[in-house]
Amino acid sequence: MTRHVWVSILALWLCACGDPESPVAAPQAERAPGARAGEVERRVRGIEPRLIAWRRDFHQHPELSNREFRTAERVAQELERMGLDVRTGVAHTGVVGVLRGTQTQPVVALRADMDALPVTEEVDLPFASRERASYLGREVGVMHACGHDAHTAILLATAEVLSGMREQVPGTVVFLFQPAEERPPPGEEGGARLMIEEGALEGPRPEAIFALHVVSEHPVGTMAWLAGGAMASSDRLEIRVKGRQTHAAYPWRGVDPIAAAARIVLRIESIPGRETDARLPGVVSVGAIHGGVRHNIIPDEVELLGTIRSLDRDARWTLHERVRQVAESVAASSGAVAEVEIDAENGYPVTWNDPELARLVLPTLERVAPRLVEARPRTGAEDFAFYQQQIPGFYFWLGVRPPQVSAEEAAPNHSPRFFVDEAALPLGVRAMTELALGYLTNAPGTAPAR
């Protein structure tokens, strides 16, 4: 959509509604899960040893984004053994499994990401990763420091549970095992966007999609959810401030891009909340400044690199527009020129939990989770957002912190000390299984259960 269409939509919305409505989900009654819930619980208990074995195997053999060859092969083998229709090589190493229940419609998708990170593991485990790989020309350790090993194992176990009770699955379940959530290496395509381009959401087309992420803020037994903007859009910002080189003792004889760049940083970082609606959170951060070679030369040019984040789908574009205008005008006021590039094309959209879908599934989560909390949004990004641009989606968090460790002590995702308490994993399987069954049973247009 063009920028001015976005701006007009925003203007209409501003004058028509005043306060934006907060996407509060009033839960809707869940059709009785009945004996099926007991069977899910039994089957999840039964699958536990295999779930843990899968997770340890993936943990010990992590693979970087777009290199998930072994993981994908293992996943495909298991899905085939379960009798699913399996497609491999989607978006390089992605695997799509289709489970057909008692009827073809409705169709629901569940997604797990499979990639690991260039991090050297520091956790003392018998199955700790010793893998090394080449990343951007350097040799690095490889670790499942974001817990995608847990996601992959949870989704495999979910497929096993659901395939064992096919006659009670009133629709079709699509399992998406996705590569490169942590972004493909520079110059390569990958992740959710490529999965979609290569038909992951076609044949059959799901009507809704679910995913979870393990986090160490919450202890085992806790799940966290949120309607609306759950994780931020993320767009790379690059600004070239062009001045005119001169002796630093005679700055008036040139144009100083360093001083201009400093003013730009201070101005653009204060845009969110002052020049865009403070109730729609956003962040502008400059992470790198490059310019100059010596103390007494004012350089020709300074480069600023940063990121723009927003938790609102429309405010994302307003932020981009203001950053561009402010950088250009601040530079111009110093006699310099700012060239602003915001790479929305390779950016991630807002992870937007469809409020209607949240309303539909909340009773299921409430029933399944020993403790369910309403989370604060996160300003990190997640490429699950691309699926949610196509179909309504719901993304939630599963606590994996050992109960005896405090939230402050627990290492965050991406840390070499990130630790997953495996006691949390069966709840993930139960949640994914029940969400799929709950959606297929309660989705708009389905007949009420007897």
Residue given tokens 């309504």 in the structure block: 392
If we measure between CA atoms, which residue out of 231, 260, 246 comes closest to residue 397? 231
What is the binding site for Zn ion (CB under 5 A)?
Answer: 146
Nearer to Zn ion by Cβ, of 181 and 314: the residue is 181
422 noted as active-site residue: yes
- Contacts with 100 (C-beta within 8 Å, 6 or more apart), sequence order: 85, 166, 172
Q: CB of residue 146 vs Zn ion: minimum separation in angstroms?
A: 3
What is the nearest approach in angstroms of Zn ion to the Cβ of residue 351? 12
Instruction: Compare residues 245 and 413 and give the one whose CB is closer to Zn ion.
Output: 413
- Give the number of other Cβ atoms within 10 Å of residue 217's Cβ: 18
- CB of residue 343 to Zn ion, shortest distance in Å: 20
Closest to Zn ion by CB, 210 vs 317, is: 210
Q: Which residue is nearest to Zn ion (CB)?
A: 146
Q: What is the CA radius of gyration of the chain?
A: 24
Distance CA 181, CA 197 (A): 15
Smallest distance from Zn ion to CB 182, Å: 5
Q: Residue 270: in which H helix or E strand, if any? A: none
From the list 301, 348, 382, 434, the catalytic residue is 348
Taking the complex as a whole, how short is the minimal distance between the CB of residue 382 and Zn ion, in angstroms?
A: 7
- Tell me whether residue 146 or residue 174 sits nearer to Zn ion (CB atom): 146
Residue with smaller CB distance to Zn ion, 146 or 212: 146
Q: Which residue has the tokens 């630093």?
A: 248
Pairing status of strand 94-100 against strand 138-141 = unpaired
User: 217 or 301: whose CB is closer to Zn ion?
Assistant: 217
Whether 394 contacts 362, CB under 8 Å: no
Using a 10 angstrom Cβ sphere, with 0-12 exposed, 13-18 middle and 19 or more buried, the burial of residue 372 is middle
Asked whether the beta carbons of 116 and 142 are under 8 A apart, the reply is yes
Residue closer to Zn ion by CB (options 116, 323) is: 116
- The minimum distance between CB 380 and Zn ion, in angstroms, equals 8
| Rounded CA separation 54/193 (Å) | 27
Question: DSSP secondary-structure letter at 116?
Answer: B
Cα(265)–Cα(286) distance, integer angstroms: 7
Q: Which is nearer to Zn ion, 151 or 320 (CB)?
A: 151
**18 alpha carbon, distance to own chain's centre:** 30
CA-wise closest residue to 372 among 215, 216, 224, 226:
224
Residue 222 bridge partners (DSSP): 371
CB of 394 to Zn ion, least distance (A): 17
Catalytic residue among 63, 68, 382, 422: 422
Length of the chain (residues): 450
Question: In whole angstroms, how close is the CB of 388 to Zn ion at the nearest point?
Answer: 16
3-state secondary structure 127-187: CCCCCEEEECCEEEECECCCCHHHHHHHHHHHHHHHHHCHHHCCCEEEEEEECCCCCCCCC
Candidates 176, 185, 214; CA nearest to 431 is 214
Active site residues: 348, 422
